[in-house]
Structure 1
Amino acid sequence: MKKVVLKLDFHDEKCRQKAMKTASGISGIESVAMDKDHKLTVTGDIDPVAAVRKLRKLCHTEIVSVGPAKEPEKKKEEPMKEEKKDEKKDIHHPPYPYTFVYYPPVPDYYTHGKYVEEDPAGCVIC
């Protein structure tokens, strides 16, 4: 079971009704609801991408969120010792700000705009 929230961009009541009818006709849907902010909430065993694909034929549709249908029960946390709290710290490193650019090495036979033979030691210039 999934709860999918979609943002629809429609301009009149007729398009709203068509969107609701199309969403309710998708296989696996258990409930469909729309709020005043044009957000369509669909619950059931569905593929969110397939639902968006069908609704985009009527109006512009975006996926806002996909999650479980029911909220999981929150477990009570057991009190932890001070030592264990320090071990549980999650260290977040920011992403590397620079991108790596690969420049291939310059071939040996071409240097500073002049052509040089591959084996200059074997050549004797008189």
Structure 2
Amino acid sequence: MMKKVVLKVEFHDDKIQTKAMKAVSGFSKVESLSVDKKDQQITLIGDIDPVKVVRKLRKLCHVEIVSVGPAKEEKKEEPKIEEKKIDEILKIHEAYYHHMRMTQSYPYCC
């Protein structure tokens, strides 16, 4: 089951952050990893055990579990065109098509 795990991690410097990212990304079922330096948080998405992740990171720095929950897939809906806009587009297309057929010139023969 896919989980979203948010961890608060105290990074003392960039070297520890790099080591922590390598350690976490080494888990086989991690699908997504994001780091927020401002809030000092690591967000993991995948079929992972949060306790194992914390155990691995505690060797490098202080870690706290902020939240563990199901990973929600955000679905982006395509913008819907209202029926009025569709009718306007069809009218414009028909008028243009009709105008082009009427103004089309044919070459004289002989």
Do these two structures clear the TM 0.5 threshold for a shared fold by scoring above it? yes
Distance 2:74 2:21 in 1: 28
Post-superposition offset of 1:27: 2.0
Gaps of 5+ in 2: 76-110
Distance 1:26 1:67 in 2: 18
Q: 2:62 aligns with which of 48, 51, 60?
A: 60
Q: Share of identical aligned residues, percent?
A: 67
Aligned length: 73
Distance 2:18 2:53 in 1: 16
Q: 2:42 aligns with which of 40, 43, 49?
A: 40
TM-score (norm 2): 0.63
Instruction: Point out the structure with max Rg over C-alpha.
Output: 1
Q: Deviations over 1:75-96 (max 9, x none)?
A: xxxxxxxxxxxxxxxxxxxxxx
1:7 aligns with 2:8: yes
After superposition, where does 1:1-126 map in structure 2 within 5 Å? 1-35=2-36, 36-70=38-72
TM-score (norm 1): 0.55
Distance 1:63 1:47 in 2: 12
The structure with the greater share of residues assigned to helix is 2
Distance 1:28 1:59 in 2: 22
Post-superposition offset of 1:71: 6.0
Q: Deviations over 1:27-64 (max 9, x none)?
A: 21001101121100000000000000001110000100
Q: Considering only aligned residues, what root-mean-square deviation do their CA atoms show, in Å?
A: 1.6
Distance 2:67 2:74 in 1: 16
Gaps of 5+ in 1: 74-126
Post-superposition offset of 1:72: 9.1
Structure 1 runs, 4 residues or longer, greater than 3 Å off: none
